[in-house]
């Protein structure tokens, strides 16, 4: 065999070997792909949510408005994205943040009041009147804007759903939803999701109201209770009208308290989700802990000018110690006050002392209360969702770690 013939044979052998190697590698890759587990629906939804949630503001059009109570004080707004891109799922119980064309309180947060769908979001907003006995004061600016100025076809800017108050997806744990007034909105979102996705899961809803005049979603709740055997509805009126009939319009007379829960709930473990006005929250949340409900099974969200501090057992690890009192100076307001530790946050502290501070979500998500930290340091009970700018702090979830000077 000549040298050229030998070289040709070697070349052909190398080409055949290389081709075979590539073929084996491709076959192995396809075989691994065929054997790989197919993602579940939950995994797909989670991936979709993480990739689809939008940064910043997005425009939504009001597709429909409808009142949900006989007094016409609670109005639902059905919102569709202007760009037509499918909406990411959210955790039932979370809220939306809105940019409003108002000089004061330009940012406001409202709970989503329906289960997640890819085509629209819904929020339900109650009109806030002037304070009782003070007709000279103005009504709530934000709720008045929604009720009086935002019509079907109008466009509003919205941030993606957020918030730390949402239902545990574990279907084996009974859920007890406790609402006071307009606090029904995040709990209705939880309820609709549970009944749609986990119809076998036991769900109990306690809905506290003054009378039937303010009963929102009455027909909806009655229909859901009638069609889902694992859903128990308890409507509670504190001051029923003559036309409100017990057994027809409401189930219990009085208030939603631990005594009612103990008498009507079945034995066993329950997770409690509570949302209502401050007076209800300040009584019920600590009472649940005193009843013996574990801290991890008590979830709550307050609305209005106060947050709630859950009762804490002695076994809970102590936070870093701070020598009380702590001096807190609000620079713009010209106030110097002493922090004595009785407030759950610097926002509560400011409001208790009549220091004007803008606020929205009260949970560290929207950034409305972000304030420049002139000096001192602040700690957070949990890491805020909102990305805090350097040299700033969030008043709604912050407490002093040292003497403070705040720009507010």
Could you report the per-residue pLDDT of 310-343, keeping only the tens digit for each?
Answer: 544 444 444 567 889 999 999 999 999 999 998 8
CB 256 within 8 A of CB 264: no
> Strand, helix or coil at 235?
strand
Domain with CATH 3.10.20.30 in the chain: 326-406
CB 107 within 8 A of CB 360: yes
Residue 68 half-sphere exposure toward CB, CA atoms < 13 A: 27
Domain with CATH 3.40.50.80 in the chain: 174-302
Q: Give the chain's end-to-end CA distance (angstroms, integer).
A: 94
Q: In the block, which residue shows the tokens 């689809």?
A: 52
Domain with CATH 2.40.30.10 in the chain: 51-130+140-161
pLDDT above 60 (res 307): no
10 Å CB burial of residue 333 (0-12, 13-18, 19+) is middle
Looking at residues 161-178, what average pLDDT do you find? 95
Q: Is the dihedral of CA 238, 243, 246, 247 positive or negative?
A: negative
10 Å CB burial of residue 365 (0-12, 13-18, 19+) is buried
Q: Lowest mean pLDDT of 143-147, 210-214, 303-307, name the range.
A: 303-307
* 76/311: higher pLDDT: 76
Phi (first) and psi of residue 319, to 5 degrees: -75, 165
Q: What's domain 174-302's architecture?
A: 3-Layer(aba) Sandwich (3.40)
CB 250 within 8 A of CB 212: yes
Looking at residues 363-392, what average pLDDT do you find? 90
Looking at residues 358-375, what average pLDDT do you find? 88
Q: Lowest mean pLDDT of 74-78, 204-208, 345-349, name the range.
A: 345-349
Q: What percent of the chain has pLDDT over 70?
A: 83
- Structure token digits, residue 132: 């009782």
What pLDDT is attached to residue 358?
Answer: 84
Query: Distance between CA atoms of 367 and 143, rounded to whole angstroms?
Result: 20
Could you report the per-residue pLDDT of 48-72, keeping only the tens digit for each?
Answer: 443 458 988 999 999 999 999 999 9
The DSSP H or E segment spanning 43 is helix 41-52
What proportions of the chain, in percent to the nearest 5, are helix, strand and coil?
Answer: 30, 25, 45
CB 65 within 8 A of CB 77: yes
What pLDDT is attached to residue 21?
Answer: 44
Strand partners, 252: 236
What pLDDT is attached to residue 67?
Answer: 98
What pLDDT is attached to residue 31?
Answer: 37
Query: Distance between CA atoms of 355 and 343, rounded to whole angstroms?
Result: 14
Confidence category of residue 381, pLDDT binned at 50, 70, 90: confident
What pLDDT is attached to residue 389?
Answer: 93
pLDDT above 90 (res 265): yes
Q: What percent of the chain has pLDDT over 90?
A: 68
> Strand, helix or coil at 393?
strand
* 365/351: higher pLDDT: 351
| 326-406 maps to CATH 3.10.20.30 | yes
Residue 274 has a CB neighbour count (10 Å cut-off) of: 25
What pLDDT is attached to residue 302?
Answer: 78
Looking at residues 86-101, what average pLDDT do you find? 95
What superfamily in CATH does domain 51-130+140-161 come from? Translation factors (2.40.30.10)
């Amino acid at each position: 065999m000549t040298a050229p013939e030998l070289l040709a044979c070697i070349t052909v052998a190398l080409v055949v070997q290389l081709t075979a190697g590539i073929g084996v590698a491709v076959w192995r890759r396809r075989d691994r792909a065929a054997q790989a587990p197919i993602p579940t629906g939950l995994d797909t939804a989670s991936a979709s949510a993480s990739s689809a949630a939008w940064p910043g503001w997005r425009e939504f059009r009001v597709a429909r408005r409808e009142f949900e109570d006989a007094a016409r004080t609670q109005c639902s707004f059905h919102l569709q994205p202007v760009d037509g891109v499918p909406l990411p799922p959210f955790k039932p119980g979370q809220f939306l943040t809105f940019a409003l064309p108002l000089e004061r309180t330009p940012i406001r947060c409202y709970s989503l009041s329906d289960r997640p769908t890819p085509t629209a979001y819904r929020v339900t907003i109650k009109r806030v009147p002037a304070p009782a006995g003070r007709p000279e004061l103005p009504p709530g600016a934000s709720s008045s804007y929604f009720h009086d100025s935002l019509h079907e076809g109008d466009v509003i800017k919205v941030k993606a759903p957020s918030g730390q108050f949402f239902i545990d997806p574990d279907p084996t744990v009974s859920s007890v939803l406790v609402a006071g007034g307009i606090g029904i909105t995040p709990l209705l979102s939880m309820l609709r999701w549970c009944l749609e996705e986990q119809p076998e899961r036991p769900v109990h809803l306690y809905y506290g109201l003054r009378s039937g005049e303010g009963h929102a979603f009455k027909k909806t709740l009655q229909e859901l209770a009638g069609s889902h055997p694992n859903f128990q509805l308890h409507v509670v009126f504190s001051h029923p009208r003559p036309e409100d009939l017990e057994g027809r319009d409401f189930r219990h007379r009085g208030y939603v308290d631990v005594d009612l829960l103990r008498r009507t709930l079945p034995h066993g473990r329950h997770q409690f989700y509570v949302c209502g006005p401050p007076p209800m929250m300040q009584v019920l949340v600590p009472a649940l802990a005193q009843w013996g409900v574990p801290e991890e099974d008590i979830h709550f969200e307050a609305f209005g000018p106060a947050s709630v501090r859950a009762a804490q057992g002695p076994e809970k690890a102590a936070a870093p110690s701070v020598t009380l009192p702590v001096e807190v100076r609000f620079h713009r307001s010209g106030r110097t006050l002493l922090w004595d530790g009785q407030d759950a946050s610097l926002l509560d502290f400011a409001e208790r002392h009549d220091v004007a501070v803008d606020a929205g979500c009260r949970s560290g998500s929207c950034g409305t209360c972000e304030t420049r930290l002139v000096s001192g340091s602040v700690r957070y009970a949990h890491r805020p969702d909102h990305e805090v700018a350097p040299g700033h702090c969030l008043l709604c979830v912050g407490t002093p770690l040292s003497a403070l000077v705040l720009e507010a």
